[in-house]
Amino acid sequence: ARKSDENGIVVIGLGRFGCRLAGALTRLGHEVLAIDRDPEKVQRWSSELDRVVQADATEEGVLRQLGVTDFRRVVVAIGASIEASVLTVLALAELDIPQIWARANSEKHAKILSSVGANHVIFPEAEIGERVAHLIVSRMLDFMEFGDDFAIAKVPVIDGMIGKPLRDLAPGERYGVMVVGAKLPGERFRYAGPDTVLTEGSVLIVEGSIDQVQRFASMA
């Protein structure tokens, strides 16, 4: 197959997740071929995305006809129907698509997707559940975990940190975290250094182990 479209990405399934994904990829400057079997979904998204076609993605022949084999990357964003998601990944694997991304909605679903040929399995509900738990129990405004017990969080400054340079606050010694960025009110995020002085309303980006970041974001 000719890999003519190095920059393009196929998104299969325009549910709540797939349509957001397709929109974000389009805004990032990638050509998106979106496929959904529901004519209403196709109709709804055809004005916002470059190419939206109505088709059943579980059919290998249909995918071939649509030119899916010209793409290196395909995302299977079907969530509710495990059968449709598995059969679609299988069809893509049969077509030798090099990068198959697939969305799982349970651990077992994830295992099946990997075993039939998905190279990357994403688990949005699990990731969001974990993330939101951190936001609820601390002052964090945002949280991201990278595996190996490493995390980054966006945390508002507290009174005790205002007016002193980071050198004196020594968050590394006290909490084990490193303050890597700071945004003073009305300014943009900048790299934080020992001389950075925080003012009221500042927001920090801190990194460390999950526990350390959580502790830092929980101190009163």
Q: Summarize as ranges the residues that interact with ligand ADP (CB under 6 A).
A: 12-18, 35-38, 41, 56-58, 78-81, 84
Tokens of 129: 């559940």
Q: Smallest distance from the beta carbon of 60 to ligand ADP, in angstroms?
A: 12
Residue nearest to ligand ADP (CB): 15
Q: How far apart are CB 11 and ligand ADP at their closest, in Å?
A: 10
Residue closer to ligand ADP (CB basis): 91 or 155: 91
Instruction: Please give the radius of gyration of the chain, using alpha carbons only, rounded to the nearest integer.
Output: 22
Nearer residue to ligand ADP within complex by CB, 12 or 166: 12
| Contact residues for 106 (Cβ-Cβ < 8 A; gap 6+) | none
Shortest reach from residue 66's CB to ligand ADP, in Å: 11
**Which lies closer to ligand ADP via its Cβ, residue 53 or residue 203?**
53
Strand-pair category, 142-145 with 151-156: antiparallel
Q: For the sheet with 203-208, list strands across it.
A: 142-145, 151-156, 203-208, 178-183, 189-191
Cα 22 to Cα 6, 18, 46, 94: the distances in Å are 16, 6, 12, 24
Nearer to ligand ADP, 57 or 155 (CB): 57
